[in-house]
Structure 1
Amino acid sequence: MTLGEAFAGSYLRRLITGRSGSVPSVLPPPSPEAQLLFLTKLQRLFAEGDFTATYKFALLITLADLSVELGADDGSELVLTNRQIGEHFIGLYWQHCLPYSSGHATSAPGVLVQNNGAQAAVVSAVSTFRANTAVASPQAAARLPGFRELVSAVTNTVSAQPLNYLQNFGGGTDEFLYERTGAGKIRLKPSVAYCLRRFYPLVQQLARSHWIDHIKQNSRNLNILGATDDLEDFLFSSSRQSLQVMAAGLRKLDEARCFYCGNMVTTADVDHYIPFSLYPRDLAHNFVLAHPSCNRSKSDTLAALPHLERWLARLHDKADALAEIGSAAGFQTDTLVTRQVGAWAYTSALSGGGKAWVTTNAYTPIDDTYTTCFA
């Protein structure tokens, strides 16, 4: 059984046949048959596509991320600029441009090769920029004069390569995801943004696992990797230093109290309010302080209505302070994007009949009240 088949069992059937939620529609969502066809073509893309570099995995993740952040729960098209996609690529590859060290005696630190030929052009461009500027995050880099040139170079590479070839598989071309419109834009076809939002965890998991496998199977990475088992964390997780900066700022902002139980914390975790397992991107406004016990109990579930209401109020009342802390830590800072991700997460949970965490061992069904909080 493949990863996609294992993940697509009862979870996907429940999503496909569940309610569409309470978000008003401009165009009707795709039918269950259309959603299954989308999944079939996505599976074929992974099985039959030619992946000489990791760009196509990055493009799929980017399209899914932007669909969550900018799309809606209907069948509408979504227009994206090549530059938006290029900027997203810089964020995805930023960490990858640092030397990876497995800590194994037989391996040597080095930048992982992400192309079957010469090093991927995006990795080379970002690596050169990082070496010349010594900035720690894409957010800090965006304030430098040379960042526009970096974005242009990455955008040109993305436009010439994965945007042209992602939809080539099985010996032909099937433009089921998007079409190029000229003027540096693409248009996600009707229902594609909906499906990318609907099946977001599956798209992420498939793209990331194939990305990791591609790096592991590249013979030029063997001397770097050794007997590693933490490659996924290196490629896709936050740095420990950034989380420490975020934690220090949150302690000052929230008076060292657990967001969930309200009690003072001595040892605190930095928790993703919208779980990282649902949306694996680090947004500054999504972080809260939590007791380790509250964090472990909540785990990968969404929080119940009282927590949600306080979280939304916090986004409004402390937006500037959270942005300042997040900027210092090197995280993306955008209140509107964070709200959009929250609305998507709760709407998806509503559609799937999900439950929300109240406190230890206590859960409650998610109903329409949750999604109306975002209206």
Structure 2
Amino acid sequence: MSASVLPPTAEEQLAFLAKLQRLFAEGDFAATYKFALLISLADLAVEVGSDDGAELTLTNRQIAERFIQLYWRHAIPYGTGRAGTQPGVLVQNLGAQAAVLTAIGEFRASVPGITIQRARTEPRYATLLSKVASIVSAQPLNYLQNFGGVTDTFLYVRSSRGAITLGHGVAYCLRRFYTLVQQLSRTHWVDHIKGNRRNHAILGDAGDLEDFLFSLSRQSIAIVGAELRKLDGSRCFYCGCAIAEFDVDHFVPFSLYPRDQIHNLVLAHPACNRSKSDTLAARPHLDRWLERLATKSDALYEIGAVAGVANDRTTANRVAAWGYAAASAAGGRAWLSASNYEPVTASYLRLLDA
């Protein structure tokens, strides 16, 4: 590793966290775009970044893709079913409705019932992507780093037309503090929507708003479960026992990487799912998961397309490599079976690099 890409020092990491905290405390959040941008930058740092201090260039179109994924479900009406409320598209701007939501809503109306994965094959999707990229460029990319009355480019600079570059150590920090960035962004996003008085007639005292905004719909989960059962059989991915009832489990825990990927979803016995909980799976399970990626990737891709779940095998593998590398560096342990764990060693990382 050259000196130019050494990871940030402990002091530099603390300074990054301090500025991130100030951004949330002192920034002006008139819409939810800035939360979406932070989530997008963190996702991309994990998926295409590295664990050194290197800069990372991202295009506006890469970021726009993430915005479309994040806001896709938000463009349909949300309803609680509670007395005194009525379904509606949640308002995500203190002024007029967020332009990204409007653009996605118009696109979805033109191709009713289409999933986001199928949408990419539509000729009109390129127009949607360009429109969202323009909005992202003109708004959150311009204003995210304005807080406390000044502009502090601690995250990125405009590197060229249509792209930004994350500064030295930024991708590293976004990868290391990924869960914190996600939690802060999602919590503030939910609070922003709940605090908008124009949403009160839709929300009432709704308590499941975060699930609607960021998790798979019940319909998608049902499709995934049924299709995985056809693909993998009626056995628990972890213990191998036959299962009459099953959970759809995130192999790399959702608490670690809260984004749904079809290649990361497996069927599990409810008891195994509860026991594994938020931990990474041990080496025997990782071996089977990687074999599954190699032999069933195309079938999983099709399930994702039908269910509307992200379906990129390379991304799933890179996310797993990031998760296990972080666990190894922290002395983490991986779940083998109930109350049975083993250390995450360098052998895990070699397996993921193979």
TM-score when normalising by structure 1: 0.92
Q: How many Å separate the matches in 2 of 1:117 and 1:106?
A: 24
User: Which runs of at least 4 in structure 1 moved beyond 4 Å after TM superposition?
Assistant: 23-26
In the alignment, which residue of structure 1 is the partner of 2:221? 243
Partner secondary structure for residue 318 of structure 1: helix
Q: How many Å separate the matches in 1 of 2:181 and 2:202?
A: 28
* Equivalenced residues, count: 353
Q: How many Å separate the matches in 2 of 1:27 and 1:90?
A: 32
Q: How many Å separate the matches in 2 of 1:183 and 1:256?
A: 51
Partner secondary structure for residue 80 of structure 1: strand
Matched, 1:281 2:259: yes
In the alignment, which residue of structure 1 is the partner of 2:65? 87
The CA deviation string for residues 298-339 of structure 1, in whole angstroms up to 9 with x for no partner, is: 011100111111111111111111112221111111111100
The CA deviation string for residues 59-108 of structure 1, in whole angstroms up to 9 with x for no partner, is: 00000000000001110111100011111100000111111112220111
TM-score when normalising by structure 2: 0.97
Q: How many Å separate the matches in 2 of 1:312 and 1:182?
A: 38
Q: How many Å separate the matches in 1 of 2:210 and 2:98?
A: 19
Q: How many Å separate the matches in 2 of 1:92 and 1:252?
A: 29
Aligned residues of 2:35 and 2:185 also touching (Cα < 8 A): yes
- Residue 123 of structure 2 is aligned with which of 136, 142, 145? 145
Q: How does 1:16-31 map to 2 (within 5 A)?
A: 27-31=5-9
Gaps of 5+ in 2: none
Matched, 1:317 2:303: no
Q: How does 1:107-256 map to 2 (within 5 A)?
A: 107-256=85-234
Q: How many Å separate the matches in 1 of 2:350 and 2:7?
A: 19
- Residue 271 of structure 1 is aligned with which of 249, 252, 270? 249
Percent identical pairs in the alignment equals 60
Q: How many Å separate the matches in 1 of 2:207 and 2:224?
A: 26
- Residue 326 of structure 2 is aligned with which of 324, 329, 348? 348
Matched, 1:258 2:236: yes
- Residue 50 of structure 1 is aligned with which of 25, 28, 47? 28
Q: How many Å separate the matches in 2 of 1:247 and 1:24?
A: 46
The CA deviation string for residues 234-262 of structure 1, in whole angstroms up to 9 with x for no partner, is: 10010111111111111111121111011
Partner secondary structure for residue 86 of structure 2: coil
Aligned residues of 2:115 and 2:306 also touching (Cα < 8 A): no
Matched, 1:41 2:19: yes
Partner secondary structure for residue 273 of structure 2: helix
Aligned residues of 1:356 and 1:364 also touching (Cα < 8 A): yes
Q: Amino acid of the residue matched to residue 90 of structure 2?
A: L
Partner secondary structure for residue 289 of structure 1: strand
Q: Amino acid of the residue matched to residue 158 of structure 1?
A: V
Shift in Å, 1:136: 3.5
Shift in Å, 1:353: 1.8
In the alignment, which residue of structure 1 is the partner of 2:341? 363
Gaps of 5+ in 1: 1-22
Q: How many Å separate the matches in 1 of 2:186 and 2:326?
A: 21
Q: How many Å separate the matches in 2 of 1:331 and 1:136?
A: 12
**Root mean square deviation of aligned Cα:** 1.3
Partner secondary structure for residue 271 of structure 1: strand
The CA deviation string for residues 143-182 of structure 1, in whole angstroms up to 9 with x for no partner, is: 1111111111111000000000000000000000000012
Q: How does 1:5-24 map to 2 (within 5 A)?
A: none
